[in-house]
Amino acid sequence: MTAGFQIGILACKLVSAPSISGRQVTPTMSSESIKTSPVTPQLQVRRVAIDTYRENVAYLHRECEVYRAEGFQALSKVEIRANGKRILASLNVVDDDRIVSCQQLGLSEDAFAQLGVEEGHAIYINQAELATSIPALHRKIAGERLTQDDFRAIVKDIADHRYSKIELTAFVVACNQGQLDREEVYYLTEAMSSVGRKLDWREHPVVDKHCIGGIPGNRTSMLVVPIVAAHGMLCPKTSSRAITSPAGTADTMEVLAQVEPPFERLWDIVREHRACLAWGGTSELSPADDVLIAVERPLSIDSPGQMVASILSKKIAAGSTHLLLDIPVGPTAKVHNMPAAQQLRKLFEFVAGRLGLTLDVVITDGRQPVGNGIGPVLEARDVMRVLRNDPRAPSDLRQKALRLAGRMLEFDPDVRGGEGYAIARDILDSGRALAKMQAIIEAQGAKPFDPDAPALAPLSFDIAADRDAVVTSVDNLQLARIARLAGAPKVQGSGVDLLRKLGDPVAAGEVLYRVYAAYPADLEFARQAAQKQSGFQLGQAEDVPKLFVEF
């Protein structure tokens, strides 16, 4: 090895984190746990402003002496150390000095944030050891059934970023094609929930609500949480941002308040107000799930086993003891019919039972979007109108939220079965839910918002009915696509505002929905998609698809 470019050897020791004040923190690596031989640091870290979406990427110049001496290859896994910390990353080889010079090691946005040092800081790099779970991965690819220890090893390596995107894809596809049996789904869920931060609220029950997704505008969580918290139940709600949808709960809540408070602050908010509505990405709960989602979503893979493991691992890690699960059913929902919904329910119930989580599954109407708005500002408008008991509030969003909140309230041993709906309705009608929501918003950091004059994007166009008829079909997927093409969720005021719903009579020329966009290009993309396929079908009343609900 060329003098002046000696590479230190890392030996790290992860120690299980103790529970402190009812919370458990992620194991971290102290400087004492890193033992290195004396070295003279020669590479300096450079922040390469590229969003690689949950993948750590390092950039090394091809003419760098470290690259030549160590025999690195593009896409190989490397170990990077600085200031007592270490990360693993996939290596990209650079031929342009403007990206990184021969004396620098570049890091993508995610990798730079994880390492937590300033630009120019001394940095060490060496080849990473092969993930120990790779043989188990190969067996899964071959269609074999894996053991609990196999899944624990795989999940730990995934959470430690030891898998490349290619290996992650192979694992996701193998699990999807081979269809995990229910024991394997339990093994995967248990492994995912045990890696990373695990919360203990020292209270019972700790309740949560989750929908499997696929229904635009379905912002019931932002209504259920303040209702349940106003009743006095503990509901620490961490939610996701949109990946392929026009808005996630966190995106819509971000219109009203900050959603990324420091974890210690989030803990205090929950203790004081009995709830929060925050983004879960900063909580380090089931971190392997975040890595896997980055692969699953672009591939449009959402197999039942992986869905169950993803949802339940997050809830277990968050300290939930009771979960209400919403499975919408409809022609353009994730679940198309009642038999498939019942099968998915049984899988959720089996895994939840093995993990000691009390689960209540409800099958709901997924034939069309819930509420009127699709997109962060439009959905926030709908939520606040429901909380304010505004006559313009969408009745379907209000009713679904009340029914879900009622079921959650029945987790309270002092609430009799069947009484929850009336209690939830009283909390909403009395203004107590609005007061609780306002307290949560203020605690998280309020933003100015007027539901009577929401800050919608300035450009718009309408899609109108071409004849007198009845709305017989509303395509969730197409309307979500149109809203995203219009700019949602990145542009908060963009999206789709529904003026007609399933079963509504319409006259020729009446507006079905209005699309908002901030930029002419976005408006034109959305217009072309809507003109090609509006997402609405018109016909006779008897053509409206049958309703499947189980409240």
What's the number of CA atoms in the CB half-sphere (13 Å) around residue 123?
29
Per-residue pLDDT tens for 469-483? 999 999 999 999 999
Distances (CA, A) of 376 to 74, 218, 244, 365, 454: 40, 11, 14, 22, 11
Q: Which band of pLDDT confidence, cut at 50, 70 and 90, is reported for residue 7?
A: very low
Kindly state the average pLDDT of the residues 32-42.
Answer: 43
For helices 249-256 and 376-387, the axis angle rounded to 10 degrees is 70
Mean pLDDT of 11-19: 33
Show Cβ contacts of residue 254 under 8 Å, excluding neighbours closer than 6 positions.
279, 376, 447, 492
Which tokens go with 434? 């609005």
For CA atoms 365, 462, 254, 434, give the dihedral sign: negative
* Residue 178 amino acid letter: G
User: What angle do the packed helices 165-178 and 148-159 form, to 10 degrees?
Assistant: 150
Per the model's pLDDT, the better-predicted residue between 142 and 282 turns out to be: 142
pLDDT at 28: 37
CB 133 within 8 A of CB 116: no
Taking residues 70-95, what's their average pLDDT? 89
Q: What's residue 33's pLDDT?
A: 36
DSSP letter for each residue of 199-232? B--S-S-BEEEEE----TT--THHHHHHHHHHHT
Checking if the pLDDT of 178 tops 80, the result is no
Instruction: Write the CA distances from 139 to 129, 142, 149, 360, 540, integer angstroms.
Output: 20, 5, 13, 35, 54
pLDDT at 551: 58
Q: Are 512 and 506 in contact (CB under 8 A)?
A: yes
Average pLDDT over residues 106-117: 93
Distance in angstroms (rounded) separating the CA atoms of residues 38 and 72: 22
In the beta sheet, which residues pair with residue 409? Answer: none
pLDDT value at 35 more than 80 = no
Q: What are the structure tokens assigned to 6, written together? A: 């000696």
Tell whether the model's pLDDT for residue 27 goes beyond 60: no
* Cα 350 to Cα 333: distance, rounded to the nearest angstrom: 23
Tell me the average pLDDT across 444-452: 95
Tokens of 349: 């119930």
- What pLDDT score was predicted for residue 546? 81
**3-12, 122-131, 521-530, range with the lowest pLDDT:** 3-12
- Rounded CA-CA distance 89/27 in Å is 19
| CB atoms inside a 10 Å sphere around CB 321 | 18
Helix axes 432-444, 221-231, angle to 10 degrees: 100
pLDDT band at 53 (very low <50, low <70, confident <90, very high): confident
Query: Helix or strand or coil: residue 198?
Result: coil
Strands (E), 366-479: 373-374, 459-464, 469-474
Predicted structure pTM score: 0.86
Residue range 524-551: average pLDDT? Answer: 90
Across the range 290-316, mean pLDDT stands at 87
What are the phi and psi torsion angles at 146 (to 5°)?
A: -100, 155
CA 63 centroid distance within chain: 40
Task: Report pLDDT for 301.
Answer: 79
238 close to 283: Cβ distance less than 8 angstroms: yes
E strand or H helix that includes residue 479: helix 476-485
Angle at 166 between CA 155 and CA 317, to 5 degrees: 25
CB-based contact 503:469 (threshold 8 Å): no
- How far apart are the C-alpha atoms of 300 and 188, rounded to whole Å? 20
Please give the average per-residue pLDDT across 220-230, as a whole number: 98
Mean pLDDT of 308-337: 94
Q: Is 90 exceeded by the pLDDT of residue 324?
A: yes
Report which of 231, 315, 312 is spatially closest to residue 275, judged by C-alpha positions.
Answer: 231
The answer to whether residue 121 scores a pLDDT higher than 90 is yes
Handedness of CA 444, 445, 447, 448 (dihedral sign): positive
- Is residue 447 a contact partner of residue 252, using CB atoms and an 8 Å limit? no
Query: Is 302 an active-site residue?
Result: yes
Q: Which of 22, 29, 25 is nearest to 263 (CA)?
A: 25
CB 512 within 8 A of CB 534: yes
Residue 10's CB is within 10 A of a number of other CB atoms, namely 18
- First vs last C-alpha separation in the chain: 69
In tens, the pLDDT along 226-284 reads 999 999 999 999 888 887 789 999 999 999 999 998 888 989 999 999 999 998 776 77
Backbone dihedral angles phi then psi of residue 275, each to the nearest 5 degrees: -165, 165
The yes-or-no verdict on residue 72 having pLDDT over 60 is: yes
Residues 302, 308, 309: CA angle, nearest 5 degrees: 100
Catalytic residue (one of 302, 390, 462, 504) = 302
Amino acid at 83: N
pLDDT confidence tier of residue 9, bands split at 50, 70 and 90? very low
